[in-house]
Amino acid sequence: MLDSRQYPTAARRFDPTAHRPKSQRLRLGVRGAAGTGKSTFAASLAEARLGRLCFFDTELKSCHLPGSDGSRFDAFEIADPDELAAAILWALREEEGRARGYGAYSLDSWNGWFASTYARFLDAKRAATGLRFPELDGDDLQRLQVVAGEILRLLCIDTHACVVITDTIAAKGMEAREDYEVGRIVPISASGLEYAVDVLVEADLRLAPDGFSQIYVHRVVKSNTPAFTIGDELVNPSFQDYLVRLNVPNVATAETVQAETSAAAAARALLTAPAASAAESEPAIEVLLQDLLAKAEQHGFSRANVVTAAQSHCGKGNLEALTRDEIRLLDRRLDNAKRLAGSSGPTGTTQQMPPGRLDGPNGPAGEADGVTLPEATIETTPAPGGASAPSPQVRQSGSQTATPSIPNRTQTRGTTSSTMPGTTPARSNSSTANGARPPQQPRH
């Protein structure tokens, strides 16, 4: 089970009703060469009866579109690529932007923003390599796609609305031949636009069947909806024509966008409320520390023992510097030390030292978790006559052996013999000192 202290999101509550699809959105990408009517088509969102259109212009061409002065839609010229994200956030979240009641968004064009951002990456690569015409490697392209993905997410996901994004492509030459050779239908770019939109079309300018007039044609090259299949063509389309073909009753409008964004904000507030209340109900660190010291005293440990344990297990000799998790760690070790100390008692003639350590599993070798080593134990052996005399060895804890001093030591011709009280000293012989075996005494 997830711990809400380690994973704050585990304490949040998921509301499934707030995340079910409530409206249909059509996010359309339009690619084409210059003069194929992309900007005019993007401005047709104003007549789709979805709400007021917010038009972001990165090429400074919206001034040529009728009604761009605010009478038909709101157009904003954005020459600095760094201002695009701020402009989208203003329309989505700031009070002034939300008060305008936008129901649809257009970006004209994606290439106007992406080309400037790509040039900045090249300048950074040029400064790093010293090459006049450097190329971006795989890591550079990955970072570039992350930056582009932030803009696409704001437009295609956070708006909860219908969106048109135009993009400029050059006249088809070598890349068209490559697409044909590998059988590729959807053109792949480094910007990632094809992944963010629901339908991607290529705009083209052709001669009408009469041979004199011109027509604008959109050909579908990528689709996520069954209403549009790859290869479909729409002639002189407007965005309303796409909605008619989509044929759904619950298309996102300014009202649904406002309701969904408000519900999303309320859901975020609901999710963060349990985490905040849990943090407020958490006891203060000072209270936890006082409880730890009181518990240690009940278990027979002093404050100095707790300081030693904190230094060993937490690397801190100052108890006031301990965190909540470190105090909980010492509390668990106190319980473990008390449990182990209570399960092991004196056995035989072994004497236990009084408790006073908090060493854990990583303590000194030969010690159990929270249990000190026993004192030295003296083993006794029966002596003649039924009395008990000390053995010439004393067994120490830690498997060390020591030989005690024995009284009445005498030396005979370079050899040393030990005499116990009440016994006869052993007979010494010169041949014994020289290593020869002593003669056998006859038995009577």
Render pLDDT for 103-136 as a digit per residue (tens, 0 to 9).
999 999 999 999 999 999 999 999 999 999 998 8
Structure confidence at residue 150 (pLDDT):
92
Q: How far apart are CA 255 and CA 353, in angstroms?
A: 78
Rounded to the nearest 5 percent, the helix, strand and coil shares of the chain are: 40, 15, 45
Q: How far is CA 16 from the centre of its chain?
A: 24
Which range (208-217, 330-339, 343-352) has the least confidence? 343-352
Sign of the alpha-carbon dihedral angle for 186, 188, 189, 193: positive
CATH of domain 22-268: 3.40.50.300
Q: How far apart are CA 243 and CA 335, in angstroms?
A: 68
Give the mean model confidence (pLDDT) for residues 299-307. Answer: 88
More confident position, 375 or 195: 195
| pLDDT of 91 strictly over 90 | yes
* Residue recorded with tokens 């040029």: 126
Which range (29-33, 93-97, 200-204) has the least confidence? 93-97
Specify the long-range contacts of residues 92-100, CB closer than 8 Å, at least 24 apart.
92/154, 92/158, 92/159, 92/261, 98/258, 98/261, 100/52, 100/54, 100/74
CB atoms inside a 10 Å sphere around CB 267 = 17
| pLDDT of 4 strictly over 60 | no
Give the mean model confidence (pLDDT) for residues 427-432. Answer: 47
Q: How does residue 314 score in pLDDT terms, banded at 50, 70 and 90?
A: confident
Q: Where are the domains of the chain?
A: 22-268, 285-341
Give the mean model confidence (pLDDT) for residues 10-18. Answer: 67
pLDDT digits (tens, 9 = 90+) for 379-425: 444 545 444 444 444 444 444 444 444 445 444 444 444 444 555 45
Report the DSSP pairing between strands 409-412 and 415-418.
antiparallel
Q: How far apart are CA 336 and CA 333, in angstroms?
A: 5
